[in-house]
Structure 1
Amino acid sequence: MSTAHVMLGLLAERPKHGYELKKEHDHRLAGAKPLAYGQVYATLQRLERDGFAEVAETQQEGGPERTMYAITGSGREELARWLNTVEPPAPYVASSLFARVAVAGRGADGYLLRQREAHLARMRELTAAKAAGPPAQVLAADFALQHLDADLRWIETALSRLKENNDA
């Protein structure tokens, strides 16, 4: 995920300040790692440096000064380019789950059984969270559930292959 592009997308709606961008990011990308405030401001500085965002105004209403940022024409072009770029399928297996099983080899069955239980517990949590969650939370839960489901199918396949190898 490109934090800069997500922030451009949030700025495309209207000018916003850093605190608002952080809160909106964390709300819309429910389930994603929350942004640190330092990351928000560093990203805004890079967007401004690259000509994708600019200071729209500075406000001070009884609190700290807030700098409002707006997307530029170049920023809109960059956002459109990013939104229209197809994400390439991951060419490599980059999962700690796979790495543990590959290293453990024939002795991975105990780990796989424990991991399956952890996946099922997380799936129950996510299913419960979907019941009363806002749309962003439901979409995030659906995304996570489908990835966990794919992991579970792979775990079952791995257990079956390990059993076949142990029986042979």
Structure 2
Amino acid sequence: MRVSDLKEARASKAKPLKNVLLAGLYNQPRSGYEMTKWLQVAGQHCWSVEHSSVYPALRALENDGLIKSERLPGTRGPERLIYSVTDAGREELTAWVASGSPRPAIKDEQILRVLCFDLLPRETALQQIRAVRADHQAQLEFFLERQNALTEHQLGPLLVTRRGVLAEQAYIAWCDEVEEMIARRPA
């Protein structure tokens, strides 16, 4: 692979993170730490990011003039940088939102494991799918609580949370089907 191809591949991977951060800052100015927490809560079912990637991406966005930072007193400690979207950042975010998205890639290791459940004894497979279901049930409860706290005046966060609710409900229904089918299988 050529050096220019590597740079292009890195740039295409970095751009979605920049758009995710712009989206988070569009909703509310935040510090880098708050952005990480926001991603863990609001975006956990649609985007994951390493905490260490947030700050370099924020610096790059600021260098590109898409966000600006302001030093403000911390609530329980030293000053912190609070980032907000600039007019140029809002224009770029609007263009990105308007451009649509390709079909998302699904990477679910659990589904790959289920693909090979025939290798496991029935009880082991049942234990595993029940644990997965319990995890998704807890996530569903989190989303339902969040959904109840949002109003239609917070349309974007409400719609994203609603997607999380539906995704978790579907995953739970799938787990129930898997459990029923495994339970009917000879031991």
What is the TM-score with the length of structure 2 in the denominator?
A: 0.57
SS of the counterpart of 1:88? coil
For 2:173 and 2:96, how far apart are their aligned partners in 1? Answer: 27
Contact 1:59 1:67 in 2 (8 A): yes
Q: Helix, strand or coil for the counterpart of 1:68?
A: strand
Q: Does 1:11 align with 2:34?
A: no
Shift of 1:145: 1.6
Distance 1:94 1:127, change over 3 A: closer
Alpha-carbon distance in structure 2 between the residues aligned to 1:26 and 1:106 = 34
Name the counterpart of 2:56.
42
The residue identity in structure 1 corresponding to 2:119 is G
Which of 109, 117, 124 is matched with 1:96 structurally? 109
1:73 match:
87
Alpha-carbon distance between aligned partners in 1 of 2:41 and 2:85, rounded to the nearest angstrom: 20
Q: Report the RMSD for the aligned CA atoms in angstroms.
A: 4.2
Unpaired runs of 5+ in structure 2?
1-15, 151-156
Identity of aligned residues (%): 25
Shift, 1:157, TM fit? 9.6
Change (3 A) 1:81 1:65: same
Q: How many residues align?
A: 158
Query: Counterpart of 1:28 in structure 2: which amino acid?
Result: A
Following superposition, the deviation at residue 15 of structure 1 comes to 4.2
Pair 72,27 (structure 1): closer, same or farther in 2 beyond 3 Å? same
Q: Is the 8 A contact 1:17 1:69 kept in 2?
A: yes
SS at match of 2:128: helix
State whether residues 18 and 61 of structure 2, in contact with CA within 8 Å, keep that contact through their aligned partners in structure 1. Answer: yes
1:118 CA drift (Å): 1.9
The correspondence for 1:149, drawn from 172, 183, 186, is 172
Structure 1 runs, 4 residues or longer, greater than 6 Å off: none
- Residue in 2 that maps onto 1:120: 133
